[in-house]
Amino acid sequence: MENQLMEIDAVKQALSVAGWDMEKELSGMATETSQFELPRVRIEHKDNGKHRMYIDSGESYLDDQSQEIEIPDNRLTAVVFAEQNIRAFWKEGDEVPACSGIDDMPIGIEPLAVSCKRCEHGVMGGKCKPKVRLLLLVEIQGEIKPLIMNLSPTSIKHWNAHKKKLARSNLPVVAVNTTFELEDVKKNGFRWAEVHLGMAGIASKEMLIAARTARTELEEFTKIISQSDFDDAGDLQPG
């Protein structure tokens, strides 16, 4: 069955006539689902080097409205309020990982090891794919919104270099406006984009207050790994 296009104003009017408060209902839905459906910063890798960074808001029934937000010049400025090292290991043919971990601690019913650091699949070059998951605050169209960005293995070194520079400057990660930019990389017949990081000044008081609130409100989210954490290009299991 094809999705029908819906006029939001008409829906709002119909609810109002029936005695419903649309904003209140949407607010309740946002509270229940926001930790699982935060918009994500994604990267589209192109063979011609014209890579693209954009914000993916997820699927919607509103087919006449794009759920992707373009990031001008592939340059994003954000405050990072949480960071996690995440991993996932797939067995060939499986649609879900056989094991996954957060900050070197396996999660799930039957982990493959007591610690990711001691797991044979977690060694350099192993089949367990590492990523860094960042929770960000970004100002979009005048509103401060939380986003997720997962850095692939090739970009993790740039994140670590960014943190080292901040540490030498006696600056916590959350205290600065971190910039994310794409750099074209060609090697061994492959072409992809890596994320380079920098700093664009100190975060505003408003952003720091919002970051503190967001870290508390989204704490539950940091305890899980979702399928969306590993559905970027190149994240699929072997085979």
Q: Is the pLDDT of residue 16 over 60?
A: yes
**Residue 149 to residue 179: CA distance in whole angstroms:** 12
Q: Which percentage of the chain shows pLDDT scores above 70? A: 85
pTM for this model (two decimals): 0.77
Distance, CA of 207 to CA of 164 (rounded, Å)? 23
Mean pLDDT in residue range 137-162: 93
Contact of 144 with 207, CB cutoff 8 Å = yes
Six-digit token pair at 64?
């006449």
Indicate if the pLDDT at residue 178 is higher than 80.
Answer: yes
Cα angle 74-80-86, degrees, rounded to a multiple of 5: 95
- Of 58, 17, 9, the C-alpha closest to 34 is 58
Helix (H) or strand (E) holding 17: helix 8-17
Average pLDDT score over the chain: 83
Higher pLDDT, 37 or 13: 13
149 closest CA partner among 72, 223, 86: 86
**Mean pLDDT over residues 140-155, rounded?**
91
Q: How many CB atoms lie within 10 A of CB 34?
A: 14
* Enclosing H/E stretch for 201: strand 190-202
- Written as six digits, the tokens of 4 are 């029908």
Give CA angle at 57 (231, 95), nearest 5°. Answer: 20
**Is residue 6 pLDDT above 70, yes or no?**
no
Q: What is the pLDDT of residues 74-116, one digit of tens each?
A: 999 999 999 999 988 878 777 778 888 899 888 877 788 888 8
Query: β-strand 143-151 against 40-44: which pairing, if any?
Result: parallel
**pLDDT-based confidence at residue 238 (cuts at 50, 70, 90):** very low
- Phi, psi of 160, rounded to the nearest 5 degrees: -65, -40
Tell me the HSE value of 78 on the side-chain side, using a 13 A CA sphere.
24
